[in-house]
Amino acid sequence: MLNTQIGRLTTLLLLICLALVNSSLVAQEPDLTYEEVLGSAKDLLGEYRYDEALKAFKHANEMRDKKSAECFAGMSDAYFGLEAYKNVITSADKTIEFAGGDAKLLLRAYNNKGLALQAQADRKDQKKLQAAEAMFREALKLQNAPPVVRYNLGVVLMQLNRDEEGVAEMKQYLKLHPKGGYFETARKLVANPRRARENFAPDFSFTSSAGEHVTLEDLKGKVVLLDFWATWCPPCVASMPEMRNLYNRYSKDPSFVLIGISSDFDEAAWRKFTNKNNMLWLQYRDRDRRIMEAFNIRAFPTYVIIDHEGILRFQSTGYGTDGLDAAIRRHVRAAAHSAAAR
């Protein structure tokens, strides 16, 4: 009994000592500095952890009486990642208010605000597009403005139907940044400024299960139905007889192409299913999710129609193909009319 009591007392004293040591260590640990919190926020932003980055930038800003242009610029970047465009604009305005003569921060603010206004405009709101144009032009007044600002300005001008000006800016971008990430897109915009105003399909290419290499460029002039599906998706499986009927209905029309884009990981299961169900149209297993990501597919089945000019015209998700046949007929007729007019 005595040994037990002594043991309990020893344990209690040990816990008290440990608590005192930990308390002392915590007391000795210095508070994080503004630079450390800001550095952490930047790291989180670089890792695309936008919510956490936003909290860190706000914390750092509190340490500067909510007057840190750098923190507001970081918040603007984080909000952009979250697609909170209204907040992007508010944070960009605060950056401009407190930036003084810091050209780098002003560039970020003008560019972010311009992009946010452009996103809000959704290609249609002329006032917001004009406001975006003004922001990009302000950015270009600053020393060492990156070429991408000219690209952004060129797109907005094309969306405002000022194609000649837009093409001129896009050519400047191509000249200044021949290895830029938007080079191919810029080249296509110069060739066809309508691409800035219309919802053109993203470029894609694949090699089908039959060994045929297919690109979006190859399909120009045709109406394309993309069926994003999987063997493990019950609504996809249930819809397959109707997809087969659509294929049989339009397979003899040279202006129509049906393509199945599967998300199956199991190649054997995919091939077995397509063979068993007599799926004779083009089939591709998107194992790296490249095409699904390009089309922002998040549910199955999803049906996408691309018209003869390469413009996205129809999209539906879920069981049932209501409206799909009518949309195909409408765009096949338009493709035939366009071909006859040439």
pLDDT score of 29: 39
Q: What is the CA radius of gyration of the chain?
A: 28
Give the total residue count for the chain: 342
Domains assigned to the chain: 34-196 (1.25.40.10), 205-341 (3.40.30.10)
pLDDT score of 170: 98
The dihedral built from the CA positions of residue 158, 163, 169 and 173, taken in this order, carries a sign that is: positive
Name 31's Cβ contacts closer than 8 Å, sequence gap at least 6: none
pLDDT score of 329: 95
Question: How far is Cα 274 from Cα 283, in angstroms, rounded to an integer?
Answer: 8
Question: How far is Cα 111 from Cα 105, in angstroms, rounded to an integer?
Answer: 10
Longest dimension (CA), the chain: 106
pLDDT score of 109: 98
User: In what helix (H) or strand (E) does residue 282 lie, and over which residues does it extend?
Assistant: strand 282-285
pLDDT score of 191: 96
Per-residue pLDDT of the chain (342 residues; tens, 9 = 90+): 434 443 444 444 443 344 444 444 333 435 899 999 999 999 999 999 999 999 999 999 999 999 999 999 999 999 999 999 999 999 999 999 999 999 999 999 999 999 999 999 999 999 999 999 999 999 999 999 999 999 999 999 999 999 999 999 999 999 999 988 899 999 999 999 999 999 999 999 999 999 999 999 999 999 999 999 999 999 999 999 999 999 999 999 999 999 999 999 999 999 999 999 999 999 999 999 999 999 999 999 999 999 999 999 999 998 877 789 999 999 999 999 998 887
pLDDT score of 68: 98
Q: Which of 302, 295, 330, 329 is nearest to 201 (CA)?
A: 295
If you search the block for the tokens 């120009």, which residue do you land on?
220
pLDDT score of 34: 97
Question: How far is Cα 170 from Cα 114, in angstroms, rounded to an integer?
Answer: 17
pLDDT score of 8: 44
Q: Which of 70, 30, 29, 28 is nearest to 53 (CA)?
A: 70
Question: How far is Cα 145 from Cα 104, in angstroms, rounded to an integer?
Answer: 9
pLDDT score of 30: 58
Strand-strand pairing, 302-306 and 312-317: antiparallel
Question: How far is Cα 116 from Cα 80, in angstroms, rounded to an integer?
Answer: 8
pLDDT score of 316: 94
